[in-house]
Amino acid sequence: MANRFKLPDLGIGIGLRTVHFGEILGRAPAVDWFEVLSENFMRTGGRPMWVLDQVAERYPVALHGVSLGIGNTDPIDRDYLRELAALARRTRARWVSDHLCWTGVMGRNTHDLLPMPYTEAALRHVVARVKQVSDALERPLVLENPSSYVEFAASSMTEWEFLARLAEDADCGLLLDVNNVYVSSFNHGFDARVYIDAIPADRVVQYHLAGHTHKGTHIIDTHSDHARPEVWELYRRAYARTGATATLYEWDEDIPELAVVIAEAEKARAFQLECVAGHGG
């Protein structure tokens, strides 16, 4: 099943990270596509921008942000949106994604991805803002499910119900981070398979895979390791539902050599082939 936005399956990609700049430009590794952290290339005019221009010439690119603050109660930052749209044009980004979260209040940014209460009021609030952002970017916004460490007593629906209704009401795409599903399922004690099965498959534009850190009492979404087998199993389950969908491996802490990140991302190919052969799900 292709996503309803007809956004392409870009194959298997990795995040563009500073430590790999030299190697990526030097030997043009076999990677299907790169995801770019939007804010790292905004308000900077030096080497990072020059590198990004080279990468965007050679590879398909998608933008992934952390500062949109779609759930914030402050007004949407129009300057940010203008700069984001300009970056998307410059890199010919296939899509622009961010997170279902809030990031700060009263003009202050914590630079964290903070969880929303899953209430009717919060849903109305986010739907209205997604529509504004999609209009400003002149393309459907793609939102990622967050990993989280707290649950609000006020929530009247599950996260997957909230996401499904948000996607429908705001007509936005979804970036399904299966590691985040796993992390939150442990932290909040729900069945990750139920979550995966409830996501509207035709809205999933992209997958994220990553490693995490188990602290015993909770799991932190650190992006600092190989993905756990349980996460790969969730990916297999989800991919069997969505079919060919762009997949990306994130590695943000203790980043190893480029070849290690690529090899970890390439593991996804075997799961995809299994699904195509009809063994998944």
Partner 1 sequence: MAAELDLDRLQRWMHAVIVHPGSPQQAVASDTAQREVPLSQLGAVILPSATLTPTERLAIYQGMYPLRMEEALAADYPALQHFLGEDAFLELVKQYVAVHPSRSFSLNPLGESLPEFLRTLPGLRRREFCHELATLELAVAQVFDAPETTPLGEPEVASIAPEQWERARLTPIAGFRVLAFRYPVNAYLQSVRDDRHDHPRPRLGREWVVVYRRDYKVFRQPLTGPAHDLLKDLAAGLPLGQAVAAALQRGRRAPEEREISGWFQTWMQERMFAAVATS
Query: Which of 58, 218, 269, 279 forms a contact with partner 1 (CB under 8 A)?
Result: 218
Query: Which of 3, 72, 206, 272 forms a contact with partner 1 (CB under 8 A)?
Result: 72
Dihedral over Cα of 72, 78, 83, 85: its sign: positive
Our finding on whether 29 is near partner 1 (CB under 8 A) is no
Query: Which of 150, 191, 229, 277 forms a contact with partner 1 (CB under 8 A)?
Result: 150
- The CB-of-48 to partner 1 minimum distance in angstroms stands at 8
The answer for residues whose C-beta is within 8 angstroms of residue 273's C-beta and 6 or more apart is none
Residue with tokens 């952002």: 133
Our finding on whether 86 is near partner 1 (CB under 8 A) is no
Our finding on whether 97 is near partner 1 (CB under 8 A) is no
φ/ψ of residue 5, rounded to 5: -90, -5
216: amino acid identity, one letter: G
Looking at beta carbons, which pairs linking 76-82 to residues 24 or more positions away fall under 8 Å?
Answer: 76/129, 76/132, 76/133, 76/136, 78/136, 80/42, 81/133, 81/136, 81/137, 82/136
- The CB-of-146 to partner 1 minimum distance in angstroms stands at 12
Nearer to partner 1, 57 or 110 (CB): 110
Is 251 exposed, middle or buried (CB count within 10 Å of its CB: 0-12, 13-18, 19+)? buried
Nearer to partner 1, 154 or 263 (CB): 154
- The CB-of-115 to partner 1 minimum distance in angstroms stands at 9
- The CB-of-168 to partner 1 minimum distance in angstroms stands at 21
What's the distance, Cα to Cα, between the start and end of the chain in Å?
A: 14
Positions of E strands within 236-280: 246-250
Please report, as residue ranges, which positions from 165 to 204 form the binding site for partner 1 (by CB under 8 A): 187-189
Our finding on whether 110 is near partner 1 (CB under 8 A) is yes
Our finding on whether 229 is near partner 1 (CB under 8 A) is no
Half-sphere CA count of 120, side-chain side, radius 13 A: 0
Query: Which of 15, 35, 67, 96 forms a contact with partner 1 (CB under 8 A)?
Result: 67
- The CB-of-87 to partner 1 minimum distance in angstroms stands at 12
Specify the stretch interacting with partner 1 by CB under 8 A; choose among 6-14, 73-81, 135-143, 159-167. Answer: 73-81
Site track for partner 1 across 37-56, x = CB under 8 A: --x--xxxxxx-xx------
Instruction: Label residues 112-134 b or e (16+ Cβ within 10 Å = b).
Output: ebbbbbbeeebbebbbebbebbb
Nearer to partner 1, 4 or 165 (CB): 165
Our finding on whether 106 is near partner 1 (CB under 8 A) is yes
In the three-class reduction of DSSP (H, G, I as helix; E, B as strand; rest coil), residue 209 is classed as strand
- The CB-of-15 to partner 1 minimum distance in angstroms stands at 17
